[in-house]
Amino acid sequence: MALSKNALGFLSVLILVGIVVGATYLRLRPDPETDGEAAAAALEGAQVLSAQEQFNTEIPQPVSGMPAVQDTLRVSVTAAGQAEAIRRATLTARVSGVVAAVPVRENQVVGQGRLLAQVDTTEYALAVAAAQAAVWTAEVDYQTRVLFDEELEDSDTRAERDRLARAVSGLDQAEVELRRAEMELSESSVTAPFGGRVADLMVVPGQFVREGDELLTVVDLDP
């Protein structure tokens, strides 16, 4: 069936409009790669903006604090070291003899005046007794010689006779010997000169020591 001229014209117009619309769509359609780059750029921009907002110093940030309290700051330091004695005394025998007792042990804490070692006192006690007897004998002789000197009026004469009587009777010398014997008896006992610890103990009971032999050491570690 033959189309009329009007129908052909209308159809031609529709075809032309379709061609124009299709060409326009193809021209204006976005490129997929361009769209991906644009989306990534938009996302990055959003992240940058979010970071700027998060760390922006101009934006008030919530801050919490603790009250200030005045107290003593204690600092503890741990270090390796070696204790050094503030005082140290090496004790030696002042007299010769057999050690009768050592009533302390190594590293024992002792107080000032504590007995640390004892030399046998038999010989020194006998010496004191003999010296004391010599003093008594000399004292009797001296008193006999000055028995009537109080009757002398001249004080210088009395003083001279007294000096002579002491020398002749041997009283002065006897008194010196007594003091020496008493000192040696006292020095047979070795005591701590100060409080501390026993160290370097070198003697045992029954050992013979001579004057000057080292016996032990006392150390004081306390400040």
pTM of the model: 0.57
The Cβ of residue 95 has, within 10 Å, a number of other Cβ atoms equal to: 20
Instruction: Give the model's confidence band at 130: pLDDT under 50 very low, under 70 low, under 90 confident, else very high.
Output: very high
Architecture of domain 84-118+190-223: Beta Barrel (2.40)
- According to the model, what pLDDT value does residue 221 have? 79
Which tokens hold the place of 143? 């008193």
d(CA 75, CA 82): 21
- pLDDT of 160 > 60? The answer is yes
- According to the model, what pLDDT value does residue 24 have? 67
Contact 178, 164 (CB under 8 A): no
Measured CA distances, 10 to 2, 4, 19 (Å): 15, 10, 14
- According to the model, what pLDDT value does residue 89 have? 96
Kindly state the average pLDDT of the residues 29-55.
52
Q: In the chain, what are the domain boundaries? A: 84-118+190-223, 121-187
* Burial of 184 (C-beta count, 10 Å sphere; 0-12/13-18/19+): buried
